[in-house]
Amino acid sequence: MELAAGQCIRQGSIGVWKHISPKLAGIGYSSCMVCFFVALYYNVIIAWSLFYMGNSFQYPLPWEQCPIDMTTNNTVKECSGSSPTSYFWFRKALDITDSINESGEFNPIMTGCLLAAWAIVCLAMIKGIKSSAKVMYFSSVFPYAVLFIFLIRGLMLDGAMEGIAYMFYPKIEIWAEVQVWRQAATQVFFALGLGYGSVIAYSSYNPIHNNCHRDALMVSCINFMTSVLASLVVFVVLGFRAKNIALNCVTQNLGLLNDMATHGTNHHWWPWFNMSDPASVTIPEYREWYHHYGSQVGTNITDCDLDEEMSKGVEGTGLAFIAFTEAMAQFPASPFWSTLFFLMLLNLGMSTMFGTMQGILTPLMDNFSLLGRHRTMLTVCSCVLGFVIGLLFTQRSGNYFVTMFDDYSATMPLIIVVVFETFAVAWVYGADRFLDDIEIMLKMAPPGIRDNSEYPDLALAMLAM
């Protein structure tokens, strides 16, 4: 629907909905606002990726081991109580405060990374849609190559099959939760770029006779296959990480059990385990014993649940900056894999930012002639404004604001925008009339404000979002 509307009316989101009905212009302005809010916090994630990629050029990686407290010459207590990757993320990267009420001072390194991220976006967008489309040819193809490399490498890891099984095994009990469906809908909209106005903006530059039916099917199918591929990579790595944690848990508990046996404590585990070779004890064997005798041994002995470990750190920023970094730290040649991973994140983040910024700039230039005549100045001013407001996220409390923006600025508002878009086409304009217009558009060129004879087909650019 958005592909066809943008291609037919030849304007950005504000102009498209104003063309359908002047009373619907608010849908376009809402899309611009959603794009702006997303751009504010999304570029902070790109800044984090820049920081991690810069720290990947050293061996060993700085998040592989806990640092040493110089006063006591021992491992930092907070790090040993959690994990090296969590400590590096919260204390070294974010230097986070205890709550959102404590703003803290600005993080100078993250402020510099944010400035670099906005500078890259500004330079890429400053020449307009034509240059950003060319950039996207690389930024949309490169991640596929990296994903396939990670998938092949990940399938060789112990725990990969457990991760894939966890991915495909459905949890029926959570299907009744409204939050799950809200997040699923938001993810689909976000992956396809729907509701942001970026699809409308890009499609308005497409050739007038471009087959938008083909593009819609192609983008949707490739997006689905890409989501499956990315999910396979994620759960293969999470499976490897979770199995390592579970096996370490088993080894630690067997050591405690052995100490208890040495001190003459009643031990029900001898019929189950070969204590002379603890490494031969599998996770299912240990869990079977634990379910029988765990409650009789004491509170020091814990259950080593692989599924529970798999579910930790699988959403939000924790996935990339804690779970993945922890897994990659255990890879041979870990700096290479870390650099490759964060370079891929930068490409994905930049392609999303290009589409998001296009969803802001194109409608404004189409509807305000003064802004349209000063595209470079508009782009620079937008990026400067984004950086200034984005300083909110580079405070020590910035991660709390990123979470807040992610939860409220791009979930429910996006769903509301998409619902109103569908209502506008189906009931205000008329679904049958809309389909007739598409058929006419593919046969003859209607008048439009945009002459795009110099621009290439931007289906790949829309896919990259």
Any binding-site annotation on 391? no
What's the confidence (pLDDT) of residue 463? 43
Span 143-162, pLDDT tens digits? 888 889 888 888 888 888 98
Q: Which residue ranges make up each domain of the chain? A: 2-464
What's the confidence (pLDDT) of residue 261? 65
Distance CA 206, CA 214 (A): 13
Any binding-site annotation on 43? no
With CA atoms as reference, report the closest residue to 59 among 345, 340, 343, 336.
Answer: 336
| Neighbouring C-alpha atoms within 13 Å toward the C-beta of 340 | 18
Burial of 121 by CB count in 10 Å (0-12 exposed, 13-18 middle, 19+ buried)? Answer: buried
Q: Select the more confidently predicted residue: 211 or 458.
A: 211
Average confidence (pLDDT) over 92-103: 85
What's the confidence (pLDDT) of residue 257? 74
At residue 250 the predicted structure's pLDDT band, cuts being 50, 70 and 90, is confident
The amino acid occupying position 361 is L
At residue 43 the predicted structure's pLDDT band, cuts being 50, 70 and 90, is very high
| 68: enclosing H helix or E strand | strand 68-69
What's the confidence (pLDDT) of residue 234? 87
Question: Across the chain, what does the average pLDDT equal?
Answer: 81
Average confidence (pLDDT) over 109-127: 89
The DSSP result for 289-348, as a single string, is HHHHHHHHH-TTS----HHHHHHTT-STHHIIIIIIHHHHTTSTTHHHHHHHHHHHHHHH
Q: Select the more confidently predicted residue: 171 or 133.
A: 171
**What's the distance, Cα to Cα, between the start and end of the chain in Å?**
17
Point out the least confidently predicted range of 308-317, 348-357, 380-389. 308-317
Residues 240 and 160 sit within 8 Å (Cβ to Cβ): yes
Give pTM, 2 decimals. 0.82
Point out the least confidently predicted range of 28-37, 192-201, 455-464. 455-464
What's the confidence (pLDDT) of residue 387? 94
Beta strand segments in 72-183, E? 74-75
Residue 74's DSSP bridge partners are 69
Query: Would you say residue 119 has pLDDT above 90?
Result: yes
What's the confidence (pLDDT) of residue 455? 41
What's the confidence (pLDDT) of residue 391? 92
Neighbours of 74 (CB within 10 A): 11
Average confidence (pLDDT) over 345-357: 85
The DSSP result for 262-297, as a single string, is HTT---S-TTT--TT-GGG--HHHHHHHHHHHHHHH
What's the confidence (pLDDT) of residue 464? 46
At residue 19 the predicted structure's pLDDT band, cuts being 50, 70 and 90, is confident
